Amino acid sequence: MHKIRGAHFVLAFLAVILLPGFLGAAELPDYQKYTGPIKPGVVITKANWDTYLPELKKLLPPSKLQWMSKGINEGLVTMPIVETTYVPQTKGMMEATRKYAGTARVGADNQLLNWTAGFPFPDPKNARELAWNCYPTINRSHAHDDIQFIKWFGLFQGSKYEKHFVWNYYDRKYKGRTDIAPLGDMAIFKEKDIIVKQAMVIVEPNEVKGFIQFRVRYWDIDKPDEVYGYIPALRRLRRLTGSDCTDPMLGSDVAYDDFEVWRQKFDSKMTLRVLEYRDFLVPKTYVGKKDHYYDYKKTGPFFQVEWELRPQWVLEIMINNPNYLYSKRVVYFDGVPLDKGGCYMIYWGEQYDQKGRLWKANGPGSPAAYKGFHNAFQWIFMNCLTDHYTAMTGPAAYDEDFDKIYPINEEETLTIKGLLKRGR
């Protein structure tokens, strides 16, 4: 009897220790390679759109298909298919990933534990590990050590231009810095648990010039971000609530929580599931200083770029908060292995309202890379229900001159006092 009880104890112990690993492994689907007729050399146009439509439905997310269908069928753009470009990550990011591989884990509350720097899970086993790899707060493909750029935002009803605004944007990461000095963890993280500061200042047109949003993000996933807004017409700085981060910015289709596809804070309420792992069509990654020219008068809210086939993870994020604007997000992000030139960059995201309707979507229209620094110089935000678009464009943040302007001047750009000087 004692032997039987002992055996049961051993089996129960092994189940507790090993079963989560087996479940995690089973959670990820096998990669499905596309072998259809859309391949490098094909150019999709208004004339052959209907011919290729059955295949395009397999290779584009629903909202992206809606967006490109309009642009191509109005004769504004085409889709040339080219060979896939593989751009390795920065030297510092890859060295950190190798050095700390196997040390990070995800707690029961979704908190990332024991992470130092680099991609936390170079060999991900489940949805939560994949989510942390692509999460913009730490991912090198989005939240860089330091970044600043100027962008133009054009608003469109269908393909008809309405108005625009221009901003300056600043972003600094305080934990796990791998490429831009100072490296490692900065004092503000060690002392205050702050991992990222982000700020934007509207510089034109005059009627909204000086509008500011400033965000401070804490590493503890259940500690709310601090968000502030300066409204020049009122000459007042006010503290914003979480719901303010989902409001349309200056009448556009842009919500602050939708930048980088998924800027909403990862929290313990969210549940995740990997839906697919297969090839999709994504805009080609342009290497080096190549500011792809965009003329909204010719192409409206559409970008004339080349497209490539690339493996994508499809991750469903259930928000589980009835008071939040969305019920869930579905994000499509890079599935190329890191050692093959992958980056876990999010190429597209779809947001569903609390009624379960596909409502909004956004993603890069032209990714760019220079010496392993990934970013985007064109972006599209869309309202799937109203056929309204906001196109973002501007020079790539990283090119051969980036080391002349980094790191950013924090006192001028990432403090309330410094930002108010700019806004006023």
Looking at per-residue pLDDT, the higher value among 52 and 400 belongs to 52
Angle CA 381–383–389, to nearest 5 = 50
Beta strands in 253-345 (DSSP E): 271-283, 286-287, 307-318, 326-334
Nearest Cα residue to 133 out of 108, 109, 106, 107: 106
Tens of pLDDT, residues 252-288: 999 999 999 999 999 999 999 999 999 999 999 988 7
Q: Is the pLDDT of residue 2 over 50?
A: no
Q: Which two tokens stand for residue 322?
A: 């009835």
Q: What is the mean pLDDT of residues 175-181?
A: 94
- 239 three-state secondary structure: strand
Cα–Cα distance between 187 and 378 in angstroms, integer? 34
Would the pLDDT of 17 be above 60? Answer: no
Is it the case that residue 173 has pLDDT exceeding 80?
yes
> What is the DSSP annotation of 75-121?
TS--EEB-PPP--PPPHHHHHHHHHTTTT-EE-TTS-EES--SS-S-
pLDDT confidence of 291, banded at 50, 70, 90? Answer: low
Residue 46: predicted pLDDT? 98
Give me the mean pLDDT over the 118-134 stretch: 97
pLDDT band at 141 (very low <50, low <70, confident <90, very high): confident
Q: What pLDDT shows up at residue 21?
A: 37
Q: What is the pLDDT of residue 3?
A: 41
- 19 pLDDT above the threshold of 70: no
pLDDT for res 392? 95
Confidence of residue 232 (pLDDT cuts 50, 70, 90): confident
pLDDT, one tens digit per residue, over 329-350 is 999 999 999 999 999 999 999 9
Cα separation of 278 and 68, whole Å?
20
Contact 280, 312 (CB under 8 A): yes
Beta strands in 205-270 (DSSP E): 212-218, 226-231, 236-240
Query: Chain-wide mean pLDDT for the chain?
Result: 89
Higher pLDDT, 338 or 247: 338
pLDDT at 44 over 60: yes
- Cβ 217 vs Cβ 227: under 8 Å: no
Name the DSSP letter for residue 258.
G
End-to-end CA distance of the chain, in Å? 81
* pLDDT of 360 above 90: yes
**For the residues of 318-357, what is the DSSP string, one character each?**
E---TTSSEEEEEEEEE-S-GGGT----EEEEEEEETTS-
Distance CA(348)–CA(154), nearest Å, equals 19
Peptide bond into 205 cis (omega under 30): yes
SS3 content of the chain, % helix, strand, coil (to 5): 25, 35, 40
- Cβ–Cβ < 8 Å for 175, 189: yes
The Cα diameter of the chain in Å comes to 84
The confidence score (pLDDT) of residue 108 equals 94
Lowest mean pLDDT among 124-128, 129-133, 204-208, 381-385: 204-208
Neighbours of 223 (CB within 10 A): 12
- Whether the pLDDT of residue 12 is over 70: the answer is no
The contacts of residue 2 (CB under 8 Å, 6+ apart) are: none
